[in-house]
Structure 1
Amino acid sequence: MPRPRSLTPAQLASAALHVIDHDGLAGLSMRAVAQQIGMSTMALYRYVNDRDELERLVVDLVFGAVDTTPPAADRPWHQRIEIMADRVRDTVGAHPGIVPLIIAHRHRSTHLLGWSETVTGILAEGGLDGRDRVIALRSLSAYVIGAIQLEHLGPLGGPGTQVMAELPPTEFPYLTETATHARTVTADEEFHGGLANLLRGMTAETGRPA
C-alpha cells in the first residue's frame, strides 16, 4: 500500500483497533500498526510518540461511539444508570480486547470522561454525594468493565462452567449445583441481574424505595 500523505488520530486509532480485534492486545505494537497502515515503523513516529499514545487514541475512538447524552429525566435514576451501562456494553462489547486499556487510560480519554460525568450527575440526582458517590461511581465502573470482560473471555456457556459442573458433588456441592443452573442464564440476564443487585444496594443507601 502507498503511504498516506497524512494521517488523522482517528485513522491511527482505527488501525490500532483493527490489530487488537484480530491479534489481541498482545499483538498491538508500533510495527503492527505501521504494517496495517502501509508505512514504515519509523514513519509512524511522525504521528505518535509510542504505543501508550496509540492505546489512548484507541480508547477515545471506541468511547467516541458511546452516547453520553443524559437519558430522559422522567425516568427513575437507577433506570438511567442502566441505560448508560448498556451503552458501554453494546459498544465496548464489540471490541473486548480493549478492556484493559480502559482501566489504564480512563483519565485520559475525553469521551470516557464524558460518560463518567453523565453517570456521576445521575448518581447525584439519585441522592448520592461525597464519599458515597465516589464509591458508587467506582463500583459501577468496575462492574461494567468486569462484566464485559467476563462475558467475552469467560462466558457462562463456556468450558469453565462445564468443568465446574462436572466437579465431584460430594466435595463441591454448592459449586456444582450453581454451575448447572449457570448454563441456563443468558448473557443479558447475567449483566442486567448483576447490575440490578448493585443498584439495589445504592438505592438502599439513599433510603429511597427500590
Structure 2
Amino acid sequence: MPRPRSLTDDQLVGAALAVIDREGLAALTMRAVAKELGMATMGLYRYVTDRQALEVLVVDHIFESVDLVLPAAHWTDRIRSLMNRLRVTVAKHPAAVPLVLRHRQAAPGSLRLIDAMLAVLTDGGFSGVDRVVAQRTLIGFLLGFLQNEYYAGLSGPGTITMSELSPAEFPFLADTARDARSVSPDEEFGRGLDIVLRGLAAG
C-alpha cells in the first residue's frame, strides 16, 4: 500500500479500529497501526504523540458516532433512546470497551453526549445536586452494564459455572444463575434501565 501523503483523524481511527476488531485491544500498538496504514512507525508520530493519544481518538470517534438528535418525547424515553444508541455504537467494537471506560472524560464527543443527557434531565425537572446524582447514576449504570456485557455476560462461562453450584451450599446463587442464562443482553439492559429511570422519576 502506498504511504498516504497526509492522514485525517478518520483514517487514523479506522486503522486503529481495524487492528482492535481483528486482533483485540492488546494488539493496538503504534507499529500495528502504522502497518495498517502502509507507513513507517515513526511517520505515525507526525499525527499522534503516543498510543494514549490514539486511544482517545478512538473513544472520541465512538462517542461522536452517537446520534444526539432525540425524538420529542417524555424525558425518560429520550434518556432511554440516548443510552440505547450509545450501547449499540459501542457494541460495534466490543474489544474497545476498556478504552471507553478509561478515556471517556478525555474525549470531546463524550462531553457532548453528557451535555445532551444533562439537557434532557433538565427538561425532566432536575437541577443542582439532583441533576448531578441523576447523571452520574445513569452513566454508572451504562458503564457497569458495558463491562458486564463484554466481560461477564449472562451467557458466559461464569454464569454456567454458578448455575452448576450445589443448591445445598449456594441455594440462591445457583437458582438465580439458572434463571440468568435465559436473559438476553437486550432484556437485561432494558429492564435494568427501566428500574433506574423509575427510581429517578420517583425521586
| TM-score under structure 1 length normalisation | 0.92
Cα deviation, 1:91-130, whole Å, max 9, x if unaligned, reads 1111122222223322332222221111111111112211
SS in structure 2 opposite 1:133? Answer: helix
Q: Does the aligned pair in 2 maintain the 1:96–1:149 contact within 8 Å?
A: no
Q: Deviation of residue 82 (structure 1)? A: 0.4
Please state if 1:195 is matched with 2:193. yes
Distance 1:15 1:119 in 2: 30
Letter of the 2:109 counterpart: H
Cα deviation, 1:34-92, whole Å, max 9, x if unaligned, reads 111111111111111111110111112122221012331xx211111100001001111
Please state if 1:115 is matched with 2:113. yes
Letter of the 2:76 counterpart: H
Distance 2:55 2:106 in 1: 10
Please state if 1:19 is matched with 2:7. no
Cα deviation, 1:135-189, whole Å, max 9, x if unaligned, reads 2111211211221232222221111111000011111100001011111111111
Distance 1:91 1:168 in 2: 39
SS in structure 2 opposite 1:4? Answer: coil
Q: What is the aligned partner in structure 1 of residue 126 from structure 2?
A: 128
Q: Deviation of residue 197 (structure 1)? A: 0.9
Deviates more, 1:98-107 or 1:48-57: 98-107
How many residues were matched structurally? 203
Distance 1:70 1:11 in 2: 29
Structure 2 spans left out of the alignment, 5+ residues: none
Distance 1:104 1:163 in 2: 29
Structure 1 spans left out of the alignment, 5+ residues: 206-210
Distance 2:16 2:138 in 1: 28
Deviates more, 1:188-197 or 1:23-32: 23-32
Q: What is the aligned partner in structure 1 of residue 103 from structure 2?
A: 105
Q: Does the aligned pair in 2 maintain the 1:70–1:118 contact within 8 Å?
A: no
Q: Deviation of residue 4 (structure 1)? A: 0.9
Q: What aligned pairs does 1:28-177 form with structure 2 within 5 A after superposition?
A: 28-72=28-72, 75-177=73-175
Q: Does the aligned pair in 1 maintain the 2:70–2:81 contact within 8 Å?
A: no
CA RMSD of aligned residues (A): 1.3
Q: Deviation of residue 194 (structure 1)? A: 0.6
Distance 1:107 1:161 in 2: 32
Distance 2:52 2:7 in 1: 18
Distance 1:38 1:24 in 2: 20
| TM-score under structure 2 length normalisation | 0.95
Q: What aligned pairs does 1:174-189 form with structure 2 within 5 A after superposition?
A: 174-189=172-187
